Every structure is written in C-alpha cells, then in structure tokens.
Structure 1
Amino acid sequence: MPDELVTPQGRRIAYHLTDGTGPAVAFLGGFKSDMGGTKAVFLEEWARAQGRAFLRFDYSGHGESSEAFTDGAIGDWFEDACAALGLLAGKVVLVGSSMGGWISLLIARAMPERVAGLVTIAAAPDFTEDSMWAGFSDAQKSELMAGQVALPSEYGEPYIITRRLIEEGRTRLVLRDPLPLPFPVRFLQGTADADVDMSVALRLLDHATGPDMRLTLVKGADHRFSDETCLDIIVAAVEDVLGQVGEHPPYD
C-alpha cells in the first residue's frame, strides 16, 4: 500500500518513498500514467540496490491519488509534484517522463535551488498547446470550447480533454520564455516516438540554456521508452547526472 500526503490544495497524493543517500531521485510520470509503470518501478529497484533515496507518486486524478482525471490540469499536477518533493530533504535529481518532463521543467523554473540535476524521457513541454490545440480541427476546437473533446489513445480508453486543461496549460508554457537549467541535464528521446516528435526534443535543447546539457537520440525507441535497452539508458543518464553532482549524507 502506498503512503499518502495531503497537498496545500487538499488533494490526496499516493506515493512510495525509499530511504537512502541523497541527492534523492524523484520520478515524475506522464499524462494519465501512474507510478506503477515500468520505468518508475525499475528505477525504484535500481535506487534500492544503490542505497539511493527515491520517490515515485501519482498526480491527482492519476493512479491511487484522489480527484477525477478530468478535473485536473498542468498547474494542479505541478502543485502535486511540488508537494511530493516536500517529502525530500536537500536537492533532488528529477526524472520526468513525457508530461513529467514538462512538469520537471516547471519545477526547475520555479525552484532551481531544489534541483541537483534533470533527466527527461520523451519530454513533452507545452503539449496541450503545441500538440493538442494546434492539432485540433475546427470542429474539435468548437467541441472543446463547449466543455471537452475525446481523443483516441493507443493506451486504452480515449483521453477526455477539457477546456480547462488547454486554457490552464497556456499559463504554464516553458518554450516561449527563457528557460535556464543551471545543473546537469540529460534529455532522452526515441526516434520512433509517435506521441512526441524528435523535433520537440531538438526545440527544447535549442531553447533551454545551461552549462551541461545533452540530448541522446535512441534509434527505433518509441514513446514508452521502457524496453531493456532503454531502461539501461535511463539508469546510465541518472548515474551520469549523479556523478556530476556528488553525494549527500543519508536522510534520517
């Protein structure tokens, strides 16, 4: 059973926290995914074997946390992530997958002093605007402005996209203004990703600024980025970042 915290906004967030050496590693999942996914669990097992502090959690409306998915928006999930990071002492290495990459960038912008390093996996910054809204037909836009629109998903039930998700997302964009990332950053992206095009990773690399930033393209990898080879690449990127930032004392 996961533990649970209550955010300042009153949402209940389910999480698993592994004690160990800092800086802790925190996994931020994707849109409509949960902390039981392959990448999150694999990283937790790696962290436990290393004696490394590790956090995985469900945003509100996801997994085992409270609220309805359709009530949420990027800002809510950013607030949930900030509350979850409050469980950790000191600086943290963020590992953000897909939407979690966007939320990691929001955290880096809002509280850079908490971030020791960043690894993103198929990061999807600004996707509500640049992918969803920009890709909608006029009919879909009209339907959305009336409340919501359903989009097909390869991962199960259709995604219900709400007007609030799109409009609130416009207040959280990170690719329109300067985006300093003053710590080690490793972007990972598959060339066969049907959900986040390679051009997004290249745009992010070009747009962000920082002293130690690299993009790794993995030929043939899809959006899940969770086969054995990709999992090893994720761990290597996390270990690379940790090697740059050094060790902290274990948590009490």
Structure 2
Amino acid sequence: MDEPQYMETPQGRRIAYHHSAGSGPGVVFLGGFKSDMEGTKAIYLEEWARRRGRAFLRMDYSGHGQSSGAFEEGCIGDWAADAMAAIGALTNGPQVLVGSSMGGWIALLVARAMPGRVAGMVGIAAAPDFTEDGMWANFDAAQREEITAKGRLELPSEYSDEPYVITRRLIEDGRKQLVLRAPLDLRFPVRLLQGTEDEDVSREVALRLLDHAKSPDIQLTLVKGADHRFSTPECLEEVERAIEAVTMRAGSGA
C-alpha cells in the first residue's frame, strides 16, 4: 500500500490523502461515517481514474483513517471543512464529487459552499441530515437523556467490534449543517445510486433528496438487491456509469 501524503487545514488538522494527476474534471471520493480512504469503492475508483487518465483524490477526514485527531472529537462541520480544504488545495477546476453515505451529505455541503468547484455529483446511498433524521429521531428517551447529560452515547456497529460513539457535539453541530430544510440549488448534473436492500439508508432518503434538490439534471437509480456497501462488481460498474454520465452532461453544459 502506498504511503499517503499529508496536508494541514486552516484549523490545524493533519489530513491524509492520495492524489493522482490527470485530466479534468477530476474525481473526488468522499467516504462515509467512520470509514476511511482504503475502502473498496475508493481504491476501485482510483484505479479506474488512472486507467482513464482522470485526476483523482481520496482523503481521510480528521479522526478517520490516517488523519490526525480522534473520531469522537469530530462533527459534520469539521469533516466538511476538511473536504473543502483538500479540494481547494489539492485540485484544480471543477470536480465530480462522489459521496458515499455520509460523504453524500459532505458533498452537498461542499457544493453549497463552493459551487464553482463542482462539475457534478454522484451520491452512493447519500445520507444527508442523518444525525437528526437517522440518529436523534430514533433515539428513545433514555438515549436522549444519556447523550444530553453525559455528552456521549455508545451504539453497536455492524461494521466493527468497536461501538459507534455518538457525541452531543455531533448531534448539535449536525443541526447547523442540515441541507433538506432549506432550498438546495445544485447547478450541475447529479446521479443518486441506492440499493433496495440498504438497511442503513432507506430509499425514502434518496427519494426525499431527489424531490428536494433543484438541479438541471438529477436522476435516481435503484439497484435491486444492493446493500449499503454498494461494492459488488455490478454496483461498482453502476458508479462508473454514473460518473461518466455526470461528466458528459457537465461537458455539454447541461
């Protein structure tokens, strides 16, 4: 495995990344909650981009993977700021953002803050506003009381032996980053990919985003049988096609 490079954000966080030079628009992969840039989709897309001579960036948010900081200290706003700093410092021109799960929310925040740097977006089980709608809304009274009083709550994880630690800061900051409560103007082509067997992000979330966002070209593809990982060969081919479609539409001025 190649060693990552590092950059420092304006907030002083040390971000690990891999960047491959190539033609534009470049592709930026934004991973999910407590995931890292060594996952199947990130590595597959990096290899795909290299074969096609496309610029490509994958990164670890602070508290994730090989970047600095503890996961429990971070929040959506921090991770979005990390992504914006990396895109601003390491890429040139408009980029196609590929956001997986939480990365879909991060991509929307990047697009809202840096619209001129986004050529298109591909959301893979995108999970906007999940701290409020997927976590807080489903906490019972005892869990809400615990996170409010103690500042943290431990939840079991299907993907790790270690529990997810949900902090009060994560929930409170998430409320400042919501994108489905106000107009969401995406002035570029968007492709949303969603598995019908996803147990972490439901198709209702994808439909809500589809209905809520304003875009000159936005489409949702439901993949029967696909789960939240969306990492089978067939799913990865869907991601490829979505990136190509977004790139073509962006190039045509759609």
Q: TM-score range by the shorter chain?
A: over 0.9
Partner of 1:92: 95
Partner of 1:126: 129
Matches within 5 A, 1:52-63: 52-63=54-65
Distance 1:99 1:67 in 2: 19
Distance 1:77 1:58 in 2: 9
> 220, 234, 248: which is aligned to 1:229?
234
> 101, 105, 113: which is aligned to 2:104?
101
Distance 2:87 2:206 in 1: 25
Distance 2:171 2:250 in 1: 36
Give the superposition deviation at 1:220: 0.7
Helix, strand or coil: the match of 1:61? Answer: coil
Give the superposition deviation at 1:118: 0.3
Partner of 2:166: 161
Distance 2:206 2:247 in 1: 22
Query: 2:53 matched to 1:48?
Result: no
Name stretches of at least 5 consecutive residues in structure 1 with no aligned partner.
248-252
Give the superposition deviation at 1:246: 2.8
Partner of 1:148: 152
Partner of 1:137: 140
Helix, strand or coil: the match of 2:226? Answer: coil
Query: 2:17 matched to 1:15?
Result: yes
Partner of 2:222: 217
Distance 2:112 2:13 in 1: 23
Distance 1:108 1:133 in 2: 25
Distance 1:89 1:238 in 2: 18
Give the superposition deviation at 1:110: 1.2
Partner of 1:117: 120
Distance 2:193 2:224 in 1: 11
TM-score w.r.t. the length of structure 1 is 0.97
Distance 1:230 1:90 in 2: 28
Partner of 2:77: 75
Helix, strand or coil: the match of 1:177? Answer: coil
Distance 1:207 1:97 in 2: 19
Distance 1:9 1:225 in 2: 33
Partner of 1:240: 245
Name stretches of at least 5 consecutive residues in structure 2 with no aligned partner.
none
| RMSD over aligned Cα atoms | 0.8
For residues 57-105 of structure 1, the C-alpha deviation after alignment (integer angstroms, 9 at most, x for no partner) is 0000000000000000000000000011021011000000000000000
Give the superposition deviation at 1:244: 1.6
Give the superposition deviation at 1:109: 1.0
Q: How many residues align?
A: 247
Partner of 1:250: none
Partner of 1:31: 33
Counterpart residue type for residue 154 of structure 1: E
For residues 9-58 of structure 1, the C-alpha deviation after alignment (integer angstroms, 9 at most, x for no partner) is 00000000000001100000000000000000000000000000000000
Give the superposition deviation at 1:243: 1.3
TM-score w.r.t. the length of structure 2 is 0.96
Distance 2:245 2:28 in 1: 15
Distance 2:77 2:241 in 1: 30
Counterpart residue type for residue 172 of structure 2: E
> 177, 180, 183: which is aligned to 1:178?
183
For residues 181-219 of structure 1, the C-alpha deviation after alignment (integer angstroms, 9 at most, x for no partner) is 111100000000000011000000000011100000001
